[in-house]
Amino acid sequence: MATNRTIKRIGVLTSGGDSPGMNAAIRAVVRSAIYNKLEVVGIMRGYTGLIEKQFMGMQSHSVSKIISQGGTILKSSRCPEFKHKEVRAKAYENMRESCIDALVVIGGDGSFRGANMLFKEFGLPVVGIPGTIDNDIYGTDFTIGYDTAINTAVQAVDKLRDTADSHNIVFFVEVMGRDAGFIALSTSIASGAEATLIPEIPTSIDKLCEYLENERRKNKTSGIVIVSEGLETGSAFEIAEKVRVKLPKYETRVTTLGHIQRGGSPTCNDRVLASVLGHEAVQALLAGKSGVMVGQMQGQTVYTPFEEACSRHNEINKKWYDIARILSL
Ligand code: ADP
Ligand code: F6P
């Protein structure tokens, strides 16, 4: 998708759930823009800042020493009012008044829906960068923050394993992912978990109990069950309760890892991905591209129209699910 507007000043914002590496992406956008003689305006708190005109000029030094920091210096928000056309019109007016000619949106598919509306309704040049721990966005092999999140989850499960082994406990560990099982599956393989429950594959409590019983017959006295959030069967607490009813002799515990998966210093992979995508987003705008998300697939930069990035999902590799089971035998 192309636009022929002249771009002198760009805005950048982070929206939706924060993810480790968003700062590295902001830094890359700011520095690449300045390198290309563009001015950069940081928009605070995602679309909320766009509506409330919370803008700040950004220089090269504004992004010094942030590459290693989690969170986002521009802050983020969920802004339901942005779904209303008149609210978006106000946001666009604010950008016009501040001479912002184009926008880089760092966030997940919800954020790209908002970005797509700005592109379609006002012809604003907008490019998206995938920033979410969930890794569920179509058009990129990895999203910014996923690698850090799975490393955090694996470290946590390794620690829980010590207590599971010492006290003969079956732990049910709930990880994030909204409605996608990427974090759960990778965490499970990397921590050698005994079972994995993900939204993409129906969960049977009977089968899980049968499996746990088999494990016990093989003298495994403890276990780790990784439970992705977003399961139809329920949360880790609910699943543990159902198992407890069927296997009352088992000692069970539940740990929900929660937002620790969204924080912390980004891994090398996330910093590199964020740096490359931030640079490529500015290049895309300068090349006249708009209404697209910039991603990396098999080492190549690819541009996916927002329409497509928002209507499809990255899919887990179901073979990995089988591998997780085989290796935990
Ligand atoms: P993420 O970007 O991580 O998926 P959300 O789904 O919460 O997070 O979306 C972030 C923000 O994007 C929302 O709070 C809202 O401001 C905006 N947004 C989401 N969906 C739409 C939509 N259909 N139209 C306009 N804006 C939207
Ligand atoms: O999209 C990132 C994410 O952390 C999901 O994994 C999770 O379902 C959701 O955001 C949690 O959002 P909140 O912090 O608003 O509860």
d(CA 16, CA 107): 6
Q: Is residue 2 over pLDDT 70?
A: no
Q: Which residues are catalytic?
A: 134
Q: Does ligand 1 have an atom closer than 6 angstroms to the CB of 109?
A: yes
210, 180 contact by CB (below 8 A): no
Atom of ligand 1 nearest to the CA of 109: 4
Dmax (CA) for the chain in angstroms is 71
The pLDDT tens digits for 107-123 are 999 999 999 999 999 99
pLDDT, mean over the chain = 96
pLDDT at 4: 66
Between the alpha carbon of residue 173 and those of residues 3, 145, 229, the distances in Å are 47, 20, 10
Q: Report which of 73, 18, 79, 17 is spatially closest to residue 47, judged by C-alpha positions.
A: 79
226, 236 contact by CB (below 8 A): no
The hierarchical CATH code for the domain 9-145+266-311 is 3.40.50.450
pLDDT at 5: 75
pLDDT at 219: 85
pLDDT at 329: 78
pLDDT at 218: 86
Q: Is residue 23 over pLDDT 70?
A: yes
pLDDT at 73: 98
Instruction: Report the pLDDT averaged over residues 118-146.
Output: 98
d(CA 12, CA 217): 57
pLDDT at 328: 86
Confidence of residue 277 (pLDDT cuts 50, 70, 90): very high
Alpha helices in the chain (DSSP H): 22-35, 47-52, 85-97, 109-122, 146-167, 182-191, 205-217, 236-246, 268-286, 306-311, 318-327
Q: Which of 79, 132, 178, 228 to mutate to test the pocket of ligand 2 (most atoms within 8 A of CB)?
A: 178
**From-to residues of CATH 3.40.50.460 in the chain:** 147-262
Residue 270 sits at the vertex; the CA angle it makes with 199 and 154, to the nearest 5 degrees, is 50
Q: Is residue 266 over pLDDT 90?
A: yes
Atom of ligand 1 nearest to the CA of 131: 3
Burial class of 299 by CB neighbour count within 10 A (0 to 12, 13 to 18, 19+): exposed
Q: Does ligand 1 have an atom closer than 6 angstroms to the CB of 130?
A: no
d(CA 135, CA 70): 17
Q: Does ligand 2 have an atom closer than 6 angstroms to the CB of 153?
A: no
Residue whose Cα lies nearest atom 9 of ligand 1: it is 110
d(CA 118, CA 87): 11
Q: Is the pTM of this model over 0.95?
A: yes
Residue whose Cα lies nearest atom 12 of ligand 2: it is 17
pLDDT at 215: 87
Those residues with Cβ within 8 angstroms of residue 207's Cβ, 6 or more apart along the chain or in another chain: none
Q: Is residue 63 over pLDDT 80?
A: yes
Q: Does ligand 1 have an atom closer than 6 angstroms to the CB of 107?
A: yes
Residue 137 sits at the vertex; the CA angle it makes with 192 and 228, to the nearest 5 degrees, is 35
Instruction: Report the pLDDT averaged over residues 43-47.
Output: 98
The pLDDT tens digits for 156-211 are 999 999 999 999 999 999 999 999 999 999 999 999 999 999 999 998 999 999 99
Q: Is residue 3 over pLDDT 80?
A: no
Å from CA of 178 to ligand 2 middle = 6
Those residues with Cβ within 8 angstroms of residue 81's Cβ, 6 or more apart along the chain or in another chain: 51, 87
- CATH architecture assignment, domain 147-262: 3-Layer(aba) Sandwich (3.40)
Å from CA of 110 to ligand 2 middle = 12
pLDDT at 46: 98
Q: Does ligand 1 have an atom closer than 6 angstroms to the CB of 110?
A: yes
Q: Which of 22, 112, 113, 311 to mutate to test the pocket of ligand 1 (most atoms within 8 A of CB)?
A: 113
* DSSP secondary structure of 40-86: EEEETTTHHHHHHT-EEEE-GGGGTT-TT--S-TT-----GGGGSHH
**From-to residues of CATH 3.40.50.450 in the chain:** 9-145+266-311
Those residues with Cβ within 8 angstroms of residue 221's Cβ, 6 or more apart along the chain or in another chain: 165, 168
289, 127 contact by CB (below 8 A): yes
